[in-house]
Amino acid sequence: MTASDFWQDSQKSTKIIAELKLLRAKVQPFHEIQGKLKDLQDLAELATSKDASLISDLQKDLESIVKGIDSLEFKLLLSGEFDALGAILSINAGAGGTESCDWAQMLMRMYCRFAEGKGYKVKTIDMLEGEEAGIKNVTLLIEGAYAYGYLKAESGVHRLVRISPFDANKRRHTSFASVDVVPQISDEIDIKVEEKDLRIDVYRSSGPGGQSVNTTDSAVRITHIPTGVVAQCQNERSQFQNKQTALKILKARLYEDQRRKQEEKLQAQYSQKQRIEWGSQVRSYVMHPYSMVKDHRTDYETGNVHAVMDGKLEEFIEAYLKMQKVKY
C-alpha cells in the first residue's frame, strides 16, 4: 500500500484494502487480548494480599479477558469459505395476511438490532409494505466482517405464536415468515450470466422515501429465466445503480443456489436435514401462553423472548455453528 503506484489500479487497490480489513478483523482482537493479559500479569506481580481493591480490579479484568478469549474461540467456528463476508438477508411473510406481515417486520427489526450490536452497516435494498401493517418482503444488505458467518444460521422458516394485536377478540395466532441468507460474494467469483437469460423490468419505487419516490421508473427487477431466481432493488438513486445492485444480488443468489445443489448429496445422508418450507420451521417464538424461543435444529431455548427480539441471537448462532461443526 505504500508503493507509489498503489492507487493507479483502483480495482486492485480496493481488493487489497478489503483483504486487509478481513485480516485485521482476525488478528487485532488476538493482539488486544495478548496485550491485556501481559498488563494483567505485570500488575498481578506488584499486588499483595493487602491490596483488596487492586485484587478486585484484577479479577474484573481477568473476567473481561476470559470473555475475549471465548469470543476468539467462537470465531474459529466461522471458518467457511464465505463466512468472513457480508450478508444479503431476505425476509418473506408467509400465509396469514396482516399477522405474517407484522411478524416479518418484527424479524427485520431483530436482525437490524443484531447488526447494530455487531457494528455492521445495514442497507435496505428492496421492501414491499403490507396492506395494513408490517412488510410482505424485504432484502437487507448487511456489511461487516463475518456477517454471513453469523447470519447463515438464520436461514429457514420462523414461527411466531402470540395473542394478536389485530384481533378484537384477543385470540392466539400463529404466523410464519421465511428468512434467506446468502453471502455478499466478490465480483471475482465467476458466475456466468447470459444477457439473453435475463428479463429486466423497471417500475416505480414504492413506500416512504424522498421526493423521487413514485415519480420515475427507477426501480429494477431482474429475473434469471432458466432458474426463476429474482433480485430487485428500488432504493438506489438511479435506475442504473438499482440495476447494478440487483445484478449483484442475483449473482450472489445464483452462486448460493449452485453451492446448495452441490451439497445436496452430502446433506441427504443426515436425518436432521432441514428444508426451507412451511411447516418445517427452524425456530419458534412463543409469547403466549408462556414465553419461549426454541431452535428446533439444536434444541437450544430461552425464556427471554424480548431479549431475542431485541437482537440477542449469539447463543442461538453459537449452538447452530457448534452443531454444524460436529455434524460435518
Of 84, 87, 90, nearest to 233 by C-alpha is 90
Domain boundaries, the chain: 6-75, 87-184+282-327, 195-265
Note the helical H segments in 272-313.
Answer: 305-309
pLDDT value for 206: 66
Separation of CA 12 from chain center: 27
Of 225, 233, 213, 51, nearest to 137 by C-alpha is 233
In this prediction, residues 58-78 reach a mean pLDDT of 87
Separation between Cα atoms, residue 220 and residue 243, nearest integer Å: 6
pLDDT band at 207 (very low <50, low <70, confident <90, very high): low
- 87-93: strand order across its sheet: 121-129, 135-143, 87-93, 172-183, 156-163, 283-286, 292-295, 301-302
pLDDT of 270 strictly over 70: no
Contact 122, 141 (CB under 8 A): yes
Separation between Cα atoms, residue 15 and residue 3, nearest integer Å: 15
Is the model more confident about 151 or about 270? 151
Contact 134, 101 (CB under 8 A): yes
Note the helical H segments in the chain.
Answer: 10-46, 52-75, 98-118, 147-151, 239-268, 305-309, 314-327
Is the model more confident about 5 or about 278? 5
Q: Does the 195-265 domain belong in CATH 3.30.160.20?
A: yes
pLDDT value for 88: 94
Packing angle, helices 52-75 and 10-46, rounded to 10 = 150
What tens digit of pLDDT does each residue of 230-244 get?
999 988 778 888 988
At residue 246, what is the residue type? Answer: A
pLDDT value for 191: 75
Cis before 289? omega within 30 = yes
pLDDT band at 63 (very low <50, low <70, confident <90, very high): very high
Of 65-74, 93-102, 156-165, 261-270, the one with minimum mean pLDDT is 261-270
Selecting from 3.60.20.10, 3.30.70.1660, 3.90.550.10, 3.40.190.10, what CATH number does the domain 87-184+282-327 have?
3.30.70.1660
Of 126, 94, 87, 124, nearest to 109 by C-alpha is 124
pLDDT of 214 strictly over 60: no
Residue 66 phi/psi, 5° resolution? -60, -40
What tens digit of pLDDT does each residue of 133-190 get?
899 999 999 999 899 999 999 999 999 999 988 887 888 889 999 999 999 886 656 6
